[in-house]
Amino acid sequence: MPGREIQARILPRTAGTGMPTYRYRGAPKPDPATARAQQALAMLAQLRTTIALRSSRLRALTAELGDCVAQALCDGVKVAAVAKSAGLPAAGIRSAAQARGELYPSGQTQSGHLHLIAGVAEECAAAEDARSAAEEERTQVLAMARKSRLLDDYELAGASGLKPDEIRKMTRAVAGVWPTGQLPQRVRLAPQ
């Protein structure tokens, strides 16, 4: 075989003793702490995107709810009925209606308006709950990363989009939640 002939001609390396030295040809094992830190950074980046998308959806639904409320009031639906179906205070309903420009009557029935407002308000509440759950998960990941000292506050701030002071305040109350250093199943980092 040509490969063996070439290999035989290459002189073995010595460490000054005249004897060939051992040369490790495998890949070094990755550091578990570095792998956990990279996983925490990836989770924070993903949660940052998720929170941004859910916040955007919530803003769109809030604007749609305001438009529906203004149109309902323009069509003559009582403020108390709109407030009840939207789950908002009457003062909020009035200010949402005044914020919209001139509207023209749509001809939709009162029950149609109330049903539409209740549906949009439900979607808005669901979007708020989803965003809150993502923010809570982010807080748990931040608390675990700070407690295990995987990353410093500035690295966590860069990955999460928060200021280091905000991270310290958020995680102060959560820091004692996991005495064993274990995160909930969904937030669990790589094994130590």
Q: Can you name the residues that pair with 20 across neighbouring β-strands? A: 14
Rounded-to-integer distance, Cα 138 and Cα 166, Å: 12
- As to burial, measured by CB atoms within 10 angstroms (0-12 exposed, 13-18 middle, 19+ buried), residue 74 is middle
pLDDT at 112: 92
pLDDT at 178: 45
> Tens digits of per-residue pLDDT, 123-153?
999 999 999 999 999 999 999 988 888 888 8
Does residue 14 sit in helix, strand or coil? strand
Residue in 80, 75, 82, 134 with CA at minimum distance from that of residue 107 = 75
The two three-digit tokens of residue 163, written as one number: 């200021």
The two three-digit tokens of residue 39, written as one number: 């996983």
For the chain, the residue count is: 192
pLDDT at 26: 76
pLDDT at 9: 57
Q: How many CB atoms lie within 10 A of CB 129?
A: 11
- Show pLDDT as tens, one digit a residue, over the chain (192 residues): 555 665 555 555 655 566 666 667 777 787 888 888 889 999 999 999 999 999 999 999 999 999 999 999 988 889 999 999 998 899 988 888 888 877 887 888 889 999 999 999 999 999 999 999 999 999 999 999 888 888 888 999 998 888 999 998 888 877 554 444 444 555 555 444
pLDDT at 81: 92
Q: Going by C-beta distance under 8 Å and a sequence separation of 6 or more, which residues neighbour residue 48? A: 138, 159, 160, 161
Rounded-to-integer distance, Cα 132 and Cα 138, Å: 10
